Amino acid sequence: MAASLIPRSVRVIDVSARDGLQNVKQRVTTRHKVDLILLLSAVGFRDIELRSAVSPKAIPQLADCQDVLSDIRIQGLMQDTAVRAITLVPNARRLDVVRKNKGRAVAVFVSASEGFSQANIQCDVETGLQRAAQVTLQARADGLLTNPFLNASTVCLKLVATRSAWVTQLESAKVWAAMGKGLSAFDSSVAGLGGCPYAPGAKGNVASEDLIYSLHKAGIATGVDYDAIVEVGRFVDTNLGLGNYSRAGTANLSSLAPRANSAKRLHWSVDLLTDELEVHRNGRNLRSP
């Protein structure tokens, strides 16, 4: 990517509490969901997806949408004008959930794939676009902020994924390709959490830690404290028991973890060496010395 095309700053939208958790089978308590959202705000995220106003039967993990949104701490976050606390809304009727809880921002979902659109929202792409337009128009009429969302896998029909000297993951390469097209706002999820119940085999989101690490290494500001977001990944693994699929995050945590003796030290081999960056690998973990 030409240096002139690299933005000075990027808006990272963390979707851990919504998209990140929606495919998790084990129960995650409402308290832990609220704690996760507040941690994301504390480390510097200014765009956070809270919940999705969908049927509890469709996605059981999101059944406590009302409980999360009505929590007094989340209420305070939603009224913070420096933060865009977002609720995903599938149709205009579900806007009532946002209004009832005095929310200020909504997102809509559109897929360019007919098969995924049918599986996910039981309609074709054209109908999905019409629904999204209805939600957006009504939300704006109500004075709400809107944040349209396009299924990431379909973007690659539109963008050429290129390997950057700063990234090694395909998902991150899509971000760099998108920046080359003028985009500057991207979704990610702490610890790489994610997946969709209507897209078997979906691997989740690009990890917030990995995305922010690569952006910061390139001199692109995000407003997020990288070291602090790594600790949120630890929270996801330790308190929620969901694992940590961030390469940069787990590498950072491994380097900070106390070692009983030298025999237990990780062996790092050079994975990527360029004029801009040196990356070492241990299994799926990456680090930059």
pLDDT score of 164 more than 60? no
Q: Is 49:37 a contact under the CB 8 Å cutoff?
A: no
Pick the more confident residue, 153 or 162: 153
pLDDT score of 161 more than 70? no
pLDDT score of 125 more than 70? yes
Give the residue ranges of DSSP H helices in 2-124. Answer: 30-42, 65-70, 72-78, 95-100, 114-121
DSSP code, position 167: -
Q: How far apart are CA 168 and CA 60, in angstroms?
A: 34
pLDDT score of 150 more than 60? no
Report percent pLDDT > 90 for the chain.
Answer: 36
Calculate the CA 47 to chain-centre distance.
10
Q: What is the mean pLDDT of the chain?
A: 79
Per-residue pLDDT averaged across 265-274, rounded?
A: 64
Greatest C-alpha distance within the chain: 63
Pick the more confident residue, 68 or 4: 68
pLDDT score of 100 more than 90? yes
pLDDT in tens, 37-56: 999 999 999 999 999 988 88
Per-residue pLDDT averaged across 81-106, rounded?
A: 92
- C-alpha count within 13 angstroms, C-beta hemisphere, residue 104: 14
Query: What pLDDT score was predicted for residue 156?
Result: 38
Q: Which two tokens stand for residue 241?
A: 């028991």
pLDDT in tens, 205-263: 888 998 999 899 889 999 999 999 999 999 998 888 888 888 888 888 877 665 434 43
What's the whole-model pTM score?
0.78
pLDDT in tens, 52-71: 988 888 888 999 999 999 99
pLDDT score of 183 more than 90? no
pLDDT score of 132 more than 50? yes
Query: What pLDDT score was predicted for residue 99?
Result: 93
Q: Which two tokens stand for residue 74?
A: 């989340």
* CATH class of the 8-287 domain in this structure: alpha beta
Q: Is 205:169 a contact under the CB 8 Å cutoff?
A: no
pLDDT level of residue 163 (50, 70, 90 thresholds): very low
Q: How far apart are CA 66 and CA 51, in angstroms?
A: 9
